[in-house]
Structure 1
Amino acid sequence: MSADNPVAIIENRVIVADVVRWTQWHNRMLFDEQGCFIEFQSVGRDITALKQIEEKLFQEKELAQVTLQSIGDAVITTDAFSRIQYLNPVAESLIGCSEPSAQGLPLLEIFRIVHEITREPVQNPIELALQENRIVGLANHTVLLARNGQEIAIEDSAAPIRNREGKVIGAVMVFHDVTQNRKLSRQLSWQACHDALTGLVNRQEFERRVEQALCLAKSDYQVHALCYLDLDRFKIVNDTCGHLAGDELLCQITALLQEKIRKTDTLARLGGDEFGVLLNQCMPEQALRVANELRECVQEFRFVWEKQVFSIGASIGLVGIDRYSESLAEIISIADAACYTAKNRGRNRVYVAEADDQERLQQRGQMQWASRISQALENDWFCLYAQKIAAITPADQNNDHYEVLLRLRDEQGNLVLPMAFIPAAERYNLMHLIDRWVIRTLFRNWPRVVGDKQSIYAINLSGSSINDDQFINFLYEQFSLHPILPQRICFEITETVAIANLIKAKQFIESLQQMGCRFALDDFGVGMSSFAYLKSLPVDYLKIDGSFIRNIIENSVDDAIVTAITRISSVMGIQTIAEFVENDAILERITSLGIDYAQGYGIGIPCPLS
């Protein structure tokens, strides 16, 4: 019988009673040694169950293939030796390599990743998953170097693939493009610590760096310096040309200052027209030299806007940072106070803060007062007093006249006089809030403290309220809320404030008088240029400054000044009020001069308005 008797395997699909069955036949023809046919053999078996298993496996494989092809993430599978077995279309697109050309290649040949900042290679996550037999995630700040030269920020994870026995036979990695997310995250992070207009670091980031410098000063005995810089005439540009010009000025000043400091230093915009400079590892002499260079470059700079030319200037407070510095808050406070001292001393100068500096300590005290004033406004620690203004001419003795005075009760309940906190309120722009508190409180309590009496109450106003365009609307609102005749209210501003804001003051006075209110010019006579301005200010009363009244008996010059003020006021039809009338002799003298009203401890002491 011939050995060459091949077997032919045939599979048949048959339907038996509406049921699909599969059979497999092994057919073979037998020949003798001479090649003559002997017989035909055929063996069959039912393979329906086997075919069903194959179909199920095919469907599962096809589903897996379709899933991997359709998934939005990139997928790479490798064998146990990190050789590529499969790439899905997203992986092909990101890497820049097709699956057929990648199959069998070591993963490292087509999947190159580095740290986006250091550019150091990052360990491949599949290698780590295979080595440690665990799921691993990719390190942050990883970028994929695609074959077309593009850099793609990615996030991924890799896991080992095990067979039924638990043996590792390969690995799978899933990753996705996070370039936009990472870009947005960097942008948000940058915005959180930078000023949007100038691109400089903001106050929060600046204080963080100062805190860091302070730690190094204490641990490594380093010496640093901080400049607190305030532009001197920024408001003129802003008010004259508008906010666009102000913004452009700030940007140009920023570029100017950056040229004068080292890369290791930090320039920050702290708010408005205030800048901070942290000079790292800078001795006091060098810091003073740099501060003066900053001041000089701003002084020499000319800002041009629509054919207008402005000279600026800078007041700078300079403070050292060493191992004896107490805290961040202390350093910032000292620098701010030193800057304010530079302004007070004439502007366009550098003021170096010293530990025992009395002027600076006074400024720091004002800063502390600013915080207490805000608390006082919030917690109603202020209270109102009133001092009588007596009519000393027969014509007007039927009307009571009072000045409303402000007092503050501290945390211990002690009474604090205004001169302790008013300078701080003026510096930190809190006076307009205090003025409004006084008016609201007086008007709210008017029925109880005044009632039907035809009294006139004088209220002091600050320059801040004079310059506040919304203040008139606030007064209209208060008069509409409370049944108070405007004729019963007199507002007082000082001569200094009026002259410094002459046009505004004139408009303000006229607006109040149209409402029916009266107006007094306080502390009159101090400037002695007052008579020239008096014609422009249609006031009802002049309050002659107490420094002239107090010594009117002993000092003939004071007597002459008061006499002149009284005569000119009489000609202009303005009534006069003498302050600091402390005894009968003074009262008798001012009465003989024809002064209309007297105020002082000889007339009546301030009493709670209740």
Structure 2
Amino acid sequence: MRDQFLLKQYINTLESAALCARLSPNGNIRWMSSSLHKLLDIHYLKQTTAFSAFLHQDNRNDIMDAIKQATDSGEAWNGSLCLNSNSRSNWCRCMAIPLYGTDGHLTELVLLFQDISREMYLDELLHEARFDQVTGLATRIDLLNDLKRVGTQCLAVMDIRKFRSYADYYGLEFGDELLRQFSHWASETLKSKHIKIYRLYSDKFALIPDFRMIPNLFEDHLLSFYQSLLSKKFVIGSSDIALDVAIGMGVGRGKQLQLAESALSKAKVIYSGYKIEVVYEKEFMHENKVNWIPKIQSALTDHRFVNYYQPIKSTKEGQPNYYEALVRLRDDNHDLAPGLFLDKAKATRYYCEITRSVIEQAVLTSEQYQVAISVNLSIEDILNEETVSFIHYVLAEHKKAQLIFEITETESTEDFTKIQSFAKDVRRLGGQIAIDDFGVGYSNFSRLIRLRPDYLKIDGSIVQNVLHDPTSASILNGLISICKELRIPIVAEFVENEDVNTYLCDQQIEYLQGYYIGKPSPEVNRVLN
């Protein structure tokens, strides 16, 4: 008798502490522990309430069928389920234990629950971090883990050329759908080559083999992938989209992602997918052994930052040509391109000094040859009060100089306000403003209308593809129409051959720039001749 009394107390204690319920054979709730009442936020429960009423409707029938199948076989059921309360949903791990009478028939079903809502929430967060929400591809987290697991020396980074142009022209939803279709096609195409694709961010993707593939074979597969892409059209609504990509490949025992990013930077400049740019760890380490800061400091002291000038040709009679100033660092007998040193300089106070050197040389050259010269300015230059004051001083003191300041638009509204203010002051002092690289990045038509630049430079990726990509042609024609209405002359960059030159002339583009027009030279008179 005493043992039965103690057993009853044990049962009551366990039931009050545990999340549990007792069901009738037909699935109605006979009893529910106070802890489960609290979890489900229930204050009153009818004896005829079915347990299934608390199950999430998406898997309600499947859960009840699985429990019935187990009990019919005389077995307990284990699984996870979602219980709906009045205020929230609760994920639980559940054990359903059947109790039978002496006649062998089911008399009661005991359910024991363990609240795993927090675990599920953390799993969801981890899943969101591991998998991209737009494309469904694995992200950088899985990439880094897989790099260690596979132990591969090869990694490639791929960038969709002028992707922002599609998003800006057609809208963000169109851009997301384009990314989804491209990602699905790329994933299926690369799977047969034993290559996995990851989304890094925006329109940038990483590729690695799923075993220790030799670099030459990996490069061959990347070329094959690129050739397949050339014949692929992505259909979105009524639009057929042909995409082009830049691919950079890194090879090494470490820092493969950094190596591939470096290779991608080179690939994006070349505008050709038929050659995969490859950077090897040994070469990269050798190149980056150079301590650029002393070199930059020394070049400023010795006035070894020199301007090259590339002609920008007018297509209309009576309109003068003008020239773009491009900085070089003179090192012994070599003039080094800005890609080698300018990014390093941006992190130092020397960057603004380089900008001032370029402007100073451009002013003197403009006065000497009586030609207009454009100078590139970054948002860092415009936000630098000393640089802006220097520009104001130069324009005020050299009224015969014809300077055009090329600015790349930024995403920041605050930065754009600064650009507007800068443009207003420059025009007041006799200078002009050009918007550079329009058609990619943060291109914004409403801002274009508000700023009303004196020139609009179309991004080279659009010009490069205009003859074989209908979307590039459509974007260009749209820009031509808008700029004619606003009376803003267009400058087309990267005019590399006669066919592109002829096409752009037929479209009545006002200015052309590129190697077909003329290469950069350290002396304007050579360009003029």
Provide the TM-score with structure 1 as the length reference: 0.42
Larger Rg: 1 or 2?
Answer: 1
* Relative contact order, higher structure (CA 8 A, sep 6+): 2
Provide the TM-score with structure 2 as the length reference: 0.47
